Structure 1
Amino acid sequence: MPRIGSRIATLAAVVMLALTAVAAPASAQRSAAAVEAYFEFHYPPAPDRFVVKLTDPAAIQHARDLVSGATEDRPHIVGRIVKRPAPYNRPWSYHLDPGTVQFFDYAIEVCDASIRYVEDHLDEAGGAFLPGLVWCPWGSQLIREVPAP
């Protein structure tokens, strides 16, 4: 039973993430851009790698703690897909909106997909596939911090 409660809480968090990303004022987004860091993750067993840009100081610190091994809490990435390439995330034709990237322990299946699967089905994202463009790759693992482009 605790697992169901955990999944419901995660679903609520994903919904709040989607709503927060839409409702965030432009001034908050501009001030968050003053701090940024880039992290690479993968989704084993696939060899693909994906880079996310983080702009929230707490998320940046959490990512650094994950990479260094200082924490194992909330190890997976969640965020809202933007259907266009970002220069720091080649060769993929999509990226995650930096203002929406967070970390989680457990999530619902509807937002899970591999990096390559999202690329191959990007035209379907936002409908029944990855509703609200929220992507939470369950097996995502941060590998390292990468330099800014």
Structure 2
Amino acid sequence: MRRITTKIGMLATAALLAITVAGPAQGQQASTARQRTKADSAAYFVMTDVTRAEFVIKLTDPRKIQHARDLLSGATTAEPHVIGRIDKRPAPYNWRWSFHLRPETIDFFDFAIEVCDATTPYVEEHLDEAGGPFLPGLIWCPWSSRLVKELHQP
């Protein structure tokens, strides 16, 4: 009975994380001008965790970009940690790692459940396991994450 309760709890947690991070669905079709505007409005930030490993994230939502800048300037201390959905492919702006966070899924948080917490090097070492019991739904929320600087367009 205890195992069943634990499994149900883990499934419910994964579902809640997926709903929280996924946000509203967006259409796949966009005009060239709109795509260019989004690319031009992207901002890149370096985050670290307890290991001090640097990981670059790309933000495209103006509200989230402003929140990140407010965190860096000290204008706010709310929701200092990064959460998002892993893409198991390298990104040109995050060359050190073989994965990145999908920009449209990135958000900030104060507290999160343990099932999505891991350090950056640990995720890299266990990337093939991500999406199963390790980081269900590919949701990653390093509890010790914090932004340390903004990068110019890489």
TM-score of the superposition, structure 2-length normalised? 0.82
Equivalent in the alignment of 1:24: 26
Question: Which segments of 5 or more consecutive residues in structure 1 lack a partner in the other structure?
Answer: 1-9
Equivalent in the alignment of 2:48: 42
Equivalent in the alignment of 1:100: 105
Q: Could you tell me how far 1:86 is from its partner in structure 2?
A: 0.5
Residue 18 of structure 1 contacts residue 132 of structure 1 at CA under 8 Å; is this kept in 2? no
Equivalent in the alignment of 1:127: 132
Counterpart residue type for residue 91 of structure 1: R
Counterpart residue type for residue 141 of structure 2: C
* Structure 2 residue corresponding to 1:14, chosen from 10, 17, 21: 17
* Structure 2 residue corresponding to 1:68, chosen from 70, 73, 90: 73
1:80 and 2:85 correspond: yes
Which secondary structure state, in structure 2, belongs to the residue aligned with residue 61 of structure 1? helix
- Higher CA-based Rg: 2
Q: Could you tell me how far 1:143 is from its partner in structure 2?
A: 0.1
Q: Could you tell me how far 1:24 is from its partner in structure 2?
A: 2.5
The CA distance in 2 between the partners of 1:145 and 1:40, in whole Å, is 6
Equivalent in the alignment of 1:3: none
May I ask how many residue pairs the two structures share in their alignment?
138
After TM superposition, what 4+ stretches of structure 1 lie above 3 angstroms from structure 2? 10-13, 27-34
Residue 11 of structure 1 contacts residue 108 of structure 1 at CA under 8 Å; is this kept in 2? no
The CA distance in 2 between the partners of 1:18 and 1:62, in whole Å, is 17
Q: Percent identity?
A: 56
* Structure 2 residue corresponding to 1:116, chosen from 118, 121, 138: 121
TM-score of the superposition, structure 1-length normalised? 0.84
Q: Could you tell me how far 1:129 is from its partner in structure 2?
A: 0.4
Counterpart residue type for residue 14 of structure 1: L
The CA distance in 2 between the partners of 1:69 and 1:19, in whole Å, is 28
The root-mean-square deviation of aligned C-alpha atoms, in Å, is: 2.2
Which secondary structure state, in structure 1, belongs to the residue aligned with residue 147 of structure 2? strand
The CA distance in 2 between the partners of 1:83 and 1:100, in whole Å, is 14
* Structure 1 residue corresponding to 2:145, chosen from 122, 130, 140: 140
Residue by residue, what CA displacement relative to the aligned partner does 1:71-94 show, whole Å, maximum 9, x if unpaired? 000000000000010111121000
Residue 21 of structure 2 contacts residue 106 of structure 2 at CA under 8 Å; is this kept in 1? no
